[in-house]
Amino acid sequence: MRIGARGSKLSLAQAGHMQRRIAAALGADPAKAAEVEAVAPLIVITTTGDRVQDRRLLEIGGKGLFTKEIEEALIEGRIDCAIHSMKDMPAELPPGLCIAAIPEREDPRDAFLSRDAVRLEDLPQGARLGTASLRRQAQSLHRRPDLDVQMLRGNVDTRLAKLAAGDADAILLAYAGLRRLGLGDLPKSLIDPKEVPPAPGQGALAIETREADRDLPWVAGLRCETTTLCVTAERGALAALEGSCKTPIGAHAWLEGGTIQLIVEALAPDGTVRFRHAGDTEISQLSDPLASARDLGFSLGQAIKSEAGDVIIL
């Protein structure tokens, strides 16, 4: 079972964790590295998003550039599945491919890191905030229009080094990535996902396969029902808003009893205007809870799209 993944430290940490789970599902001993590698070898694939680090993704084709080469390998049969960060997955997948499993999600919140300030609100007037995310830029400027947002790309180590060197007064990163790298103690604070929703699917992983392999026996053991429902709702909003790196979109879903709660927001890129809708749907008695979750997200996204028009598109 050849597993494709990007070569960044975070991607390898995520893929390595799933590699052991996949190998175990295929009958290997996850504690024996040689056995794991023999049964489920990891194939590192460099993507355009990894190669081009001096421009925003929206300038070079969008977040699909983190998945394009890996998906080509999957279509061509050079790998059998791929491990992605869900937040990097475009709303639409290439024909013949599917998200076969979504494992249990890590913490979805954004993390605030700074040398001095504890929260975004504590930064001095005109402070430099480093981020390559249009969503984080728009949400931060909505809260603090005085901030000087600087484009900051690169892997986690690179961004942390730039913060330490004084290239920015603060940065925002996904807390899930920091935790997976053993750096969960670095943030000065975590941002409330209900007040400032993260990217749809943030903190979750996507196991992508060919459509024909969706229901292979090893896949089922990787699925988390709660995470799948919540991410499906969030990605429903993404689909409605035609989400790309040119549209600042945040979405956060959670399960409360037998009900999915969802908050969706989209903003003008400069943060001056924010459109926000919330809703819920009962899932306990439904025959197709995934369809209900997606419909909830899609309806909230459509409501925002109707209200906002082109204001939210860069």
Overall average pLDDT of the 230-244 stretch: 90
Give 133-189 pLDDT, tens digit per residue.
999 999 999 999 999 999 887 889 989 999 999 999 999 999 999 999 999 999 999
Overall average pLDDT of the 227-243 stretch: 93
185-197 in b/e form (b: 16+ CB < 10 A) is eebbbebebeebb
Domain-embedded: residue 185: yes
Query: Do β-strands 42-44 and 3-5 pair in parallel, antiparallel, or remain unpaired?
Result: parallel
Overall average pLDDT of the 20-40 stretch: 94
Q: Which two tokens stand for residue 9?
A: 């430290």
Residues 293 and 229 sit within 8 Å (Cβ to Cβ): yes
Domain-embedded: residue 126: yes
Q: Output the pLDDT for position 239.
A: 93
Distances (CA, A) of 40 to 95, 211, 229: 25, 19, 28
- What is the percent of the chain where pLDDT is above 70? 93
> Would you place residue 54 in the very low, low, confident or very high pLDDT band (cuts 50, 70, 90)?
low
Burial class (CB in 10 A: 0-12, 13-18, 19+), 276: middle
Q: Output the pLDDT for position 48.
A: 73
Coil/strand/helix, residue 288: coil
Comparing 62 with 128, which gets the higher pLDDT? 128
Residues 197 and 265 sit within 8 Å (Cβ to Cβ): yes
The residues annotated as belonging to the active site are: 88
Residue whose pair of structure tokens reads 């029902």 in the numeric block = 225
Overall average pLDDT of the 275-293 stretch: 90
Q: Output the pLDDT for position 46.
A: 86
Overall average pLDDT of the 214-233 stretch: 95
Residues 207 and 78 sit within 8 Å (Cβ to Cβ): no
Domain-embedded: residue 123: yes
CATH code: domain of residue 167:
3.40.190.10
Domain-embedded: residue 150: yes
Overall average pLDDT of the 74-86 stretch: 96
- Asked whether the CA dihedral 308, 248, 290, 74 is positive or negative, the reply is positive
- Paired residues of 275 in beta bridges: 266
pTM, two decimal places: 0.92
Query: Do β-strands 97-101 and 205-210 pair in parallel, antiparallel, or remain unpaired?
Result: antiparallel
Q: Give yes or no for residue 60 having a pLDDT over 60.
A: no
Domain-embedded: residue 133: yes
What distance in Å separates the CA atoms of residue 275 and residue 256, rounded to the nearest whole number?
24
Q: Which two tokens stand for residue 96?
A: 């013949």
Comparing 246 with 3, which gets the higher pLDDT? 3
Q: Output the pLDDT for position 284.
A: 75
Domain count, the chain: 1
What distance in Å separates the CA atoms of residue 163 and residue 155, rounded to the nearest whole number?
13
Domain-embedded: residue 147: yes
Q: Output the pLDDT for position 246.
A: 79
Owning domain of residue 170? 110-190
- Asked whether the CA dihedral 206, 211, 217, 223 is positive or negative, the reply is positive
For the chain, state the CA radius of gyration: 19
Domain-embedded: residue 14: no
What distance in Å separates the CA atoms of residue 71 and residue 98, rounded to the nearest whole number?
10
Domain-embedded: residue 278: no
What distance in Å separates the CA atoms of residue 207 and residue 76, rounded to the nearest whole number?
17
